Structure 1
Amino acid sequence: MNAREVVQGEAAAYAESVRDAEKVTVGIVTPLTTPGDPVAGTLTVRGAILGAEYVREHGGLGAGRQFDFVIRDDQETVALDGGTMPRSAVGALAKVAIVDQVIAALGPWHLRYTDEVAELAERLGLPLFVENAHPSVTAKRRRTVFRTFTSLAERIPLLLRFAAEQGFKRIGVIHANTVFGESAAGLIAAEVERAGGTFELYSVPFDQESTTDLRPELEAIQRWQPDVVINVGVVRTNHLIVKQAAEIGLLPATPMMAPFQWPLRATDYWANLGESGLHLVWPATQFSPNWPGLTPMGTWFAQRYLDRYGTTPPDTALNAFTDITIIAQALRSAPRIGRDELIEALESGTFDTWRGPVSFERGATHWHHSPPPAVLQQYQQVDQDVSTVPVVYPPEMSTAGYVRPGNGT
């Protein structure tokens, strides 16, 4: 079965469990087919369904109400729309907002159409929880847009502080020409300039859609002799960069970092990369089934996901779970079930999550954006996952020292 069939089946099983309840419907607009990332979409839906199960088992939404879901593949009309993702994604959101009349929506995952989807949600007055790291979507101060995920604006400075402390001066960047790739590369360049001579930068772009061989770009970076390489590939090319860097000898001799947490999809990561995936560093949250700060809600989620899927949950699923449980708490406190009432409850409330209380300020730094603290993680043994991966930075949150490729320390 493909991802769309899998998640529709899982959603139907959940719906059967609340068949006799009054429903409050949430839309999930996420990639379930290519050219998007159907793995991310699957994780998002699974996290949301587990959030609804948690709500069902902890009192529901009040007055006998339970969640229901309408799931749309935001890639469903890409071919009809001339290969452009934004038209397809905006269309998917319009359908759940106008036709299905959902109370709120989760999505999108890809940065390349986040602003367009957020703008439509704002025009329609639809509460939207963004499930990605777009650096400025919440900074635009839209009334309807919320986020509990870390953004590139938190992740890139952390990576560069770590690089400085490790003595990495020459930074090579290889980046896709997507919104995510260009945004990350631009933020890296801005941080390098802000550091005032601490770093030297060599940045190489590539075309995400057509590229199947990145060895020429990687060899150009290799000739420049970087101290560290930042891998800003996205779906498909992130793995390709690691594989071909190992083929030409750039890895493991040169450390590598990435600006998002795709290695936490551990089963796919190790199946694709094997030992070549060792020692990559990426930003994530402190979430782990073994993290001492985990709340009872977080423990419930980690155990239910493990029982259901046989693995520990990556934070893509965690984030959707968090957003659904926050929506539930806000709806319980609202005077009636409505979009405006939900927004007002979200703005005024404080909500229990896996990491403790969360609220949505309307401040200069974070507008409707309540991210967890960002940390850097590193796989130091083959087949590690989110339950065993060490945090290597910042020092006050680390659980192990950084292992530099080539010398083991």
Structure 2
Amino acid sequence: MRRKLPLLVMMLVVLVAVTPVLASRVAQEEGVVTFAAGDSVKIGLATDLSNLIPAPGQDIANGAQLAVDEFNEAGGLQGFTVELVVEDDRCVGEDATSVANLFVSDPHIVGVVGHVCSGASIPASEVYQEARIPMVSPSSTAGAFTARGLDVANRVAFNDNIQGVVAARFIFSELGAQRIAVLHDNTSYGEGLASTVAATFEELGGEVITFEVVDPEEQDFRPVLTVLAGQEPDLIYLGGYEAQAALIVQQMAEVGLEDTIFFSDDGVYTATYLELAGDASEGTYVTFGAQVGDPEANEAFDERYEEKFGVAPDELGPFHAQAYDAATVILKALEAVATVDDAGNLSVDREALIEAVRTTEDLEGLSGLITCDENGDCGSATIAVFVAEGGEWVEVEVPEELQVSSES
């Protein structure tokens, strides 16, 4: 006959089984993440790998991965390996919220590089704010992203409140446009940037003849462009991304807008846009954050990147330096707050990590000097302008007085 375990033994078995779980829950409730020897410290990375900007999205993942790999090669976090967990949010708000909840459900994820698109970062940041997980976006430029008082939301990218002002000033003063049409894709990024351009242009004395949404899922923009052709704008500005822009510039020539200047943003500053638009890209303009980091450091990074991934970073996208820097901000903050006890367990206080990220100061990044302000804006405030010439982006001079940074 089978003997039954005494009640006391059964209780001990249950207690042993649940103790690690209970301990973990207590640590989470106290805001401290503890890693046993052999555990990996995880950083999430949310990017777009399959929708609006898959090539730039992969470029961002690559840049951050290189930072983590080099950190581990140098000894890791007090001997603990750091792991980058990459998820695809497709630059869509609902998907981004799902990815954020997935990251939050893993107690070993202590920070997030991302998200990539502003329309993804803004809803995701609400999830991280509640969970107390700091995020550093390499590329979310919408003014609203850091304007909501969230202490977990940071970026090393520039701010569209600056990008839009400099773009409008350049359009008015350097290109001599007096009447412009402003289009946007109805995203937090595109609409916000387009609104800043339109408002600034009108303040300068220019006329915005239309401010209109263009569906990014649309393939035929001729109906909208035909109406614009009758209004004879000097320039068309688009707040949006590469695929939509390529179609618009190709179709502009078909409706009589071949002599109208096309001007866009960092979402169009890609090699993919140049390839998709072909000859129609010639003479089109975009803005991007000025790369003011050390040229030798960037050249060395480019070589390491190409050696590891088999492609030059600029062939995929423009935000690889910012991705490397975003990961580095989190890694440096982890170094500042992580502790190891006598048993060899590593602990990370979430609140201390949030503060360490936000108080980053004078960090020499690939994209420039990184210092976070009280809102979480950590990157360069200098904006560059590029024109497409012969299938390449060529930087053009922006007078210092057009820069917002010159006013401080």
TM-score, with length taken from structure 1: 0.78
Structure 1 residue 201: deviation in Å? Answer: 0.5
Partner AA of 2:286 in structure 1 = W
- 2:264 corresponds, among 258, 267, 271, to 258
Deviations 1:343-391 (A, max 9, x none): 22223342221144322121xxxx1112213333323532325xxx223
RMSD across aligned C-alpha pairs, in angstroms? 2.6
Q: How far does the alpha carbon of each residue in 1:88-125 deviate from its partner, in whole angstroms, 9 at most, with x for none?
A: 21111111122353110122223334322111110110
After TM superposition, give the deviation of residue 229 of structure 1 in Å: 1.3
CA contact (8 A) 1:126 1:144 kept: yes
Q: Go from structure 1 to structure 2 and tell me whether the alpha carbon gap of 1:201 and 1:179 turns closer, same or farther (over 3 Å shift).
A: same
**Aligned residues of 2:325 and 2:367 also touching (Cα < 8 A):** no
Q: CA deviation at 1:187?
A: 1.9
Letter in 1 for 2:43: V
- 1:156–1:188 CA contact under 8 A, matched in 2: yes
- 2: CA distance, partners of 1:295 / 1:275: 31
Aligned to 1:63: 78
Bigger RCO of structures 1 and 2 (CA < 8 A, at least 6 apart): 2
1:122-143: CA deviations, max 9, x gaps? 0110101123112121121211
CA distance in 2, matches of 1:164, 1:355: 28
SS in structure 2 at match of 1:29: strand
Q: How far did residue 87 of structure 1 move?
A: 2.6
* Alpha-carbon separation, structure 1, partners of 2:247 and 2:128: 35
**235, 239, 243: which is aligned to 1:236?**
243
TM-score normalised to structure 2 length: 0.79
Identity %: 22
**Residue type of the partner of 1:310?**
V
SS of the equivalent of 2:115 reads coil
Give the CA deviation at 1:220.
1.6
Counterpart position of 1:315: 318
Structure 2 counterparts to residues 271-282 of structure 1, below 5 A: 271-282=275-286
Alpha-carbon contact 2:368-2:380 (below 8 Å) kept: no
Cα 1:210–1:397 shift into 2, 3 Å? closer
- The alignment partner of 2:372 has SS state of coil
1:40 and 2:49 correspond:
no
**2:387: which partner in 1?**
379
Match of 1:344 among 327, 343, 355: 355
Structure 1 residues 176, 393: closer, same or farther in 2, change over 3 A?
same
Q: What code does the residue aligned with 1:74 have? A: D
Q: Report the residue type matching 1:269 in the other structure.
A: Y
More strand by proportion, 1 or 2? 2
Unaligned runs of 5+ in 2: 1-36, 340-347, 404-408
Aligned pair count reads 353
Q: Secondary structure at the match of 2:248?
A: helix
What residue identity is the alignment partner of 2:395? Answer: P
Say yes or no: does 1:144 pair with 2:159: no
Partner in structure 2 of residue 153 of structure 1 = 161
Q: 1:30 aligns with which of 37, 42, 47?
A: 47
Q: Give the match for residue 169 of structure 1.
A: 178
Greater C-alpha Rg: 2
- Deviation, 1:170, is 0.6
Q: Is 1:185–2:185 an aligned residue pair?
A: no
